[in-house]
Structures are given as structure tokens and as C-alpha cells.
A = this chain, B = another copy of it.
Amino acid sequence: MSQKTATAIAHPNIAFIKYWGNRHQALRIPANGSISMNLGALFTRTQVTFDESLAADQLSINEAPATGAAHHRVSDFLAWVRHISAIEEFARVESENNFPMGTGIASSASAFAALSLAASRAAGLGLDEKDLSRLARRGSGSACRSVPGGFAEWQVGTGDDNSYAYSIAAPEHWDLIDCVAIVDQDHKTTTSIEGHAIADTSPLQAMRIEQVPSYLARCREAILQRDFEAFAQITEHDCLIMHAVMMTSSPSLIYWLPPTLAIIRAVRDWRKSGIPACYTIDAGPNVHVISEESYLNKVKSLLEDIPGVHQVMISGPGGAAHLTD
């Protein structure tokens, strides 16, 4: 039997300084750098087997065969893996998430990080973390941040060679928790891919891009110092500035729902009352409330009391993408 198989696990991540807009769309060279934390409680596990008996790539997600856009995207990605390796066979890809779809937690990041590791190993490539991150980036921009462990920074770079993510602190460095308040389980009307493509139509995007290097420095420093208040301020500001760009792009992207705003306002009050909590929101209506582990029960129960919050998912920092036996 062929040994051309490997299984890998990777975690999704939540960005504190956001990725929005590309300098190069197809290669996913971002318009700006970003910083995130892997979510240890959540993961995608992906097995890739290159098999000469296959006439095409096969993909299953959560044990259901995937076709259409998802299959196309994975198959394009595998074509690149074949291009950079000695392999020619098609692959069978079996991927599963331990978290529900449509929760506003981007499964594409953990999916392409796990796929990058499993596919490259199954193809016989021994990529180091940097090259693995570069590879994952081609599948889904934010996936490059799910390759290294803990707190990661994606350096914007100038092209494919130097646009990748690396760890700035291990998962154990700071016991932050992400309490994801799910206010809507529908699929997004505008995907992130489409959103990135129109970021430049906002008159505010250029100004945002100019600002981000200073945001990265402030966020990085706050994480390294475990300074929650400084962390909270820059994280919320960066979130608002990204949504400002989204709202003022053409067409206008308003991802927030009424409960999104209720949570934003509540979190602001909680922090004033002394609870370490801040919010960040991706391209969707659900709110990631970041706090410290000792406040987990408090924050979770406060969130559950807000009308419109269906569910609260909890995760602390997670490790790097890794192979399983």
C-alpha cells in the first residue's frame, strides 16, 4: 500500500488586528498585516490520501461529499501542492470540524491550515513552519495564522515569499478566552472573499492601511505585556475601523444585527465596571468577547442574558497545526 497519506489538526483563529483587503487577490497577499489567537477548543481534522486509483480529487466535509465551490477551491489548492511536489495522483480529502458551520468562526482558516499540513506531508514535502504558513495562505488568507501556535502575527510581506505568519507568544503566555456570542446561524450574504475584493471601494480603506502598522505594534506590545486595557482599546478600535470600511464600501456591507450592537454596548459597560472584556467582530454578526479565564463564567452568563444571543462558545488559546497518528 501507498504511504501517501497524512492527517493533521489545526485550530481556527480570531484576529485582533484584522485582515481586510488584498494587495494581490489570487495569491492572497494582504493589504495589511494582522494579529490573531488560535482557538484551542475548536479544530478541523483533515486526512489527505493521494491515490492513483482516483480520477479526480474527492472531498468530504463532516462525512458528507462536497461538490461545487468548496470542492473547486480544495482541488485548485491540491493542484498547487502537486505542482510543488513530485506527486501526480488525485487525492481523497476527509475533513471534519468539531464546531458547527455558520457560527461566524471561519472554518476556512483551520481547514486550509490542516489541509496544508496533511497534503504537503502526504505529498512527501517536509515544509517548515514558514513555508507551511505561506502554503496555507494560498488556500485562505487567514489560514496562514492557524499554522503557528498561540498568538500569531501575519507579516504583510511584499509577495508570496515573505507573506506568512509566525508565533509572537505561546498559548500559555496569556490565559485569554474568546466567548463567541452566536446571534445568527444563517450563512453570510457576502462572503469574505467577495468582501476583500471590494475593500478598496471604501474611501476609508487607504487611511486604514496607513494606520495598521501602528495598530500592530500596539496590539503586539499589549499581548507581550499582558496589558488587557491597552489590548482592549486597540482591538476594539481596529474592529470598528474594519467595519467602517465595510459599511462604506460599494456595495455597503453591514454585517451587524441588532443583538451585535447590544453586545458591543454591554461589553463597553462591563469594562467600565472593571470586568476585563472587549469585543471583536469578523465579517458576520456574531461577537467575539475576549476576556481572561478567571472571568469566564461571569462573562458567559452576562452574554447569555442578552436578548438575541442564541449560544456562547468558549475557547482559550490553541497550539500550532500538527500531524496526528
Contact = CB atoms under 8 A, between A and B. Distances in A.
A203 interface: yes
Contacts of A257: 261, 265
A247 B244 contact: yes
Interface residues of A, number: 29
Given A260-B261, A261-B260, A261-B261, A204 B244 contact: yes
A257 B262 CA distance: 7
Given A204-B207, A211-B203, A254 B244 contact: no
A264 B247 CA distance: 12
Interface string A231-264: 0000011001101110110001010111111101
A224 interface: no
Nearest to A203: B211
B203 A207 contact: yes
A237 B244 contact: no
A206 interface: yes
Interface string A155-169: 000000000000000
Contacts of A248: 237, 240-241, 244
A190 to B, nearest CB: 13
A133 to B, nearest CB: 29
**Dominant secondary structure at the A interface:** helix
B247 A240 contact: yes
Contacts of A243: 247
Contacts of A252: 236-237, 240
Contacts of A262: 258
Contacts of A245: 244
Interface string A202-246: 011011101100000000000000000000000011001101110
A260 B261 CA distance: 9
A236 B250 CA distance: 12
A301 to B, nearest CB: 20
A256 B247 contact: no
A258 B309 CA distance: 13
Contact of A241 (B203, B236, B240): B203
A252 to B, nearest CB: 6
Contacts of A241: 203-204, 244, 248
Nearest to A210: B203
Contacts of A211: 203
A43 to B, nearest CB: 33
Pick the most buried of A210, A244, A252: most chain B CB atoms within 10 A of its CB. A244
Closest 5 CB pairs of A and B: A244-B244, A258-B258, A207-B207, A240-B247, A258-B262
28 contacts: A203-B207, A203-B208, A203-B210, A203-B211, A203-B241, A204-B204, A204-B208, A204-B241, A206-B207, A236-B252, A237-B248, A237-B252, A240-B244, A240-B247, A240-B252, A241-B244, A241-B248, A244-B245, A244-B247, A244-B248, A254-B264, A254-B265, A256-B261, A258-B258, A258-B259, A258-B262, A258-B308, A261-B261
Interface of A: 203-204, 206-208, 210-211, 236-237, 240-241, 243-245, 247-248, 252, 254, 256-262, 264-265, 268, 308
